[in-house]
């Protein structure tokens, strides 16, 4: 089994953007439309206010995820753009990225992490709940959308 390598990358780097486009296409296939209309600015994923991480298997980018500051208190991070290429699924990529994102947020002073996902992402929901995430009141761009599920956990 190949070792997963995770590196911090710019959100707007070509390999990051290729994975993000794939993530949005996956969400679009599940929910319709462009996949996610949430306003996102690449600058939000720049330390110390955020970070974007890319996972590699055999030198090939196969997954990603990032965090950006959330709320006014400076204690909370929001998980965004988690994705694993279908060919790499089932190999621990998503869990490795999630752990790396959580460590990065914690290392930058965040005490809590929150996320939005939808009810048509059962594999994501299963991973988040098994990693200790619990349902919280909906927030963000899709807070009033049918099927929106928000989760959070202490870091």
- The token pair at 8 is 């911090």
CA quadruple 154, 6, 122, 68: dihedral sign: positive
φ and ψ at residue 126, rounded to 5 degrees: -60, -40
Report residue 1's pLDDT band, with 50, 70 and 90 as the boundaries.
Answer: low
Could you report the per-residue pLDDT of 116-141, keeping only the tens digit for each?
999 999 999 999 999 999 999 999 88
Could you report the per-residue pLDDT of 10-60, keeping only the tens digit for each?
999 999 999 999 999 999 999 988 888 888 999 999 999 999 999 999 999
- The token pair at 118 is 């939808």
Domain CATH code at residue 18: 3.40.630.30
Give dist(CA 136, CA 151) in Å, integer.
5
Could you tell me the residue range of the domain that residue 117 belongs to? 4-154
Count how many domains the chain has.
1
φ and ψ at residue 118, rounded to 5 degrees: -120, 165
Percentage with pLDDT > 90 across the chain: 90
């Amino acid at each position: 089994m190949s070792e997963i390598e995770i590196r911090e990358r710019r959100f707007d780097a070509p390999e990051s953007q290729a994975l993000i486009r794939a993530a949005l296409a996956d969400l679009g296939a599940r929910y319709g439309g462009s996949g996610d209309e949430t306003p996102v600015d690449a600058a939000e994923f720049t330390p110390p206010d955020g970070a974007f991480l890319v996972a590699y298997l055999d030198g090939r980018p196969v997954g990603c995820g990032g965090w950006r500051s959330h709320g006014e208190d400076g204690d909370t991070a929001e998980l965004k753009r988690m994705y694993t290429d279908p060919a790499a699924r089932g190999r621990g990529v998503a869990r490795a990225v999630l752990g790396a994102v959580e460590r990065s947020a914690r290392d930058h002073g965040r005490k809590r992490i929150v996320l939005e996902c939808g009810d048509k992402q059962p594999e994501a929901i299963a991973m988040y709940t098994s990693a200790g995430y619990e349902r919280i009141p909906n927030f963000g761009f899709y807070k009033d959308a049918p099927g929106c599920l928000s989760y959070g956990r202490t870091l």
